[in-house]
Chain A
């Protein structure tokens, strides 16, 4: 068993390192794949040739490619990610200021999605078991599909229009206070919560038909204990897998939501950086988002291995 865990850690660690290397290399090559001269594209067609030459020199683009690559890797390890062209600040400083806001938003959205999906999915599963309450089942199915298919930025705009502009209950944009988190977090969490609650319902319905749940009924345990102690822990593996993968995409969704709510995070920064052709900053933010998704996927694998060793590491 010890060997299986070691093999799992080695397998997963190797996969993470290779994925990170591919990500870093893709981010490095990004600046070289821009059609034409990236510096000219960055500074615009009217920029003075001297400024273009100076910027190219500052970015090290005159050096051989392998030297640039090594310098880029060294910069990653030392925290030197270059200087933002549009802001005139070190990229690491920009990241340090913006990343916490994006992480807080993404994590709160994830926590809300899980906190909504588990009880809602479980309650609907228990209430609609064996074809009971068809009306409730139909309402849940249609509502969850509608909520899951609304793009989060559109939901964000709708929330702003209703709660910010019409009812004036909550701020329409970032104010720094706790109340400014409410609408963006709901906009981020609603779609994933709808999808997850459907999965929780289906998985729980299937688990409630398992033999060990029948055994629990034979013990005359309370329905609450049967669902919470026996059925739900065995049903959440699929929901957690998808939930974990959604955390990665949820962080990426912050790009659009942050722009709707003028949120001072990486999402709004990357849009400005792309429009301003601020390549060093775009490179760094792409790296941060990509690394975030890879780390989340690895974390999900580890959690699943701990929860269900049989299916993940082949432990018998």
Chain B
């Protein structure tokens, strides 16, 4: 896996007097084969940074480099994103197998695609025989597993997970988090994990960055940020977490 480095990224929405700066000179690094947790309240610009990294939003200024090189403009995107709501992020008319197959590199033959889809579904703990199922037939947790398999099919250098548990029932959040952690370790994924839930970020991330109103306020190793926060806003966020959630979930 490769390091993702974002430097002085600025993204603005709108024009003229109604312009809104969603990301303001954001700089952060997702170390190779590690997880960077990006935390902050709603509207702090986390998802904008994620979308810019995945190439879904154009940056007004700044650079995004992968292994020291700019992101390629052609072919499969090396930075792939898992979205918040798995039910709406998959085409309801396509089978989950077809959705995954669309991400596979074109060199795969028909039979290789079939076995690769089975392998990916198995990897996310879904029954490969369900490859023909359509999204309405699966639960939220199962769909988020499909979304993870879809992302892995693209052989990404970096995975961006944007609030991937917030649309799920509490009962399945833990299972999805365990899967993400397991895959990150097994595959050595470089992961940008975005959440407003500090307990969740603490569970999966080795590095943490805190964002507010489009700016990075503090960044560093997870232990340091959680135990010796430098910024008052980080301390406020930590104080807002109920005691029962401060320990690892």
- Do A218 and B80 have beta carbons less than 8 Å apart? yes
Q: Is the CB of B89 within 8 A of A212?
A: yes
B83 in the interface (beta carbon within 8 A): yes
Within 8 A of A (CB), among B72-113: 75-77, 80-81, 83, 85, 88-94, 102-103
Q: Among residues 204 to 225 in chain A, which have CB atoms less than 8 Å away from a CB atom of chain B?
A: 210-212, 214-221
Chain A stretch 182-222: residues in CB contact (< 8 A) with chain B = 210-212, 214-221
A218 touches B77 (CB 8 A): yes
B136 CB within 8 Å of chain A: yes
A310 within 8 A of B: yes
Q: In the assembled complex, which residues on chain A have CB atoms less than 8 Å from the CB atom of B147?
A: 215
Task: Check if B77 sits within 8 Å of A215, measured CB to CB.
Answer: no
Note all chain B residues with C-beta closer than 8 A to A139. Answer: none
Inter-subunit contact B136/A212 (CB<8 Å): no
* Partner among A214, A234, A310, A316 whose Cβ is within 8 Å of the Cβ of B56: A214
The answer to whether A230 has its CB under 8 Å from any CB of chain B is yes
Decide: A234 near B93, CB < 8 A? Known: A218-B54, A220-B75, A310-B136: yes
A interface, by DSSP: helix, strand, loop or mixed? helix
Is B154 interfacial (CB-CB < 8 Å)?
Answer: yes
* A212 engages B91 (CB within 8 Å): yes
Are B83 and A219 in contact, with the CB atoms below 8 A? no
Are A216 and B91 in contact, CB atoms less than 8 angstroms apart?
yes
Residue among A215, A230, A310, A316 facing the most chain B CB atoms (10 A cut-off): A215
B88 touches A219 (CB 8 A): no
Interface size class of A (residues with CB under 8 A): 10 to 19
What residue of chain A has the Cβ atom nearest to residue B84's Cβ? Answer: A211
Query: A310-B136, A316-B136 in contact; A217/B88 too (CB < 8 A)?
Result: no
**Cβ B102 vs Cβ A214 within 8 A:** no
Chain B CB within 8 A of A75 CB: no
Interface centre among B83, B85, B147 (most CB of A within 10 A): B83
Q: Which residues of B have CB within 8 Å of A60?
A: none
Determine whether A233 belongs to the interface, using a CB cutoff of 8 Å to chain B: yes
Tell me the complex Cα distance, A280–B150, Å: 65
Residues of B within 8 A of A (CB): 54-56, 75-77, 80-81, 83, 85, 88-94, 102-103, 136, 147, 150, 154
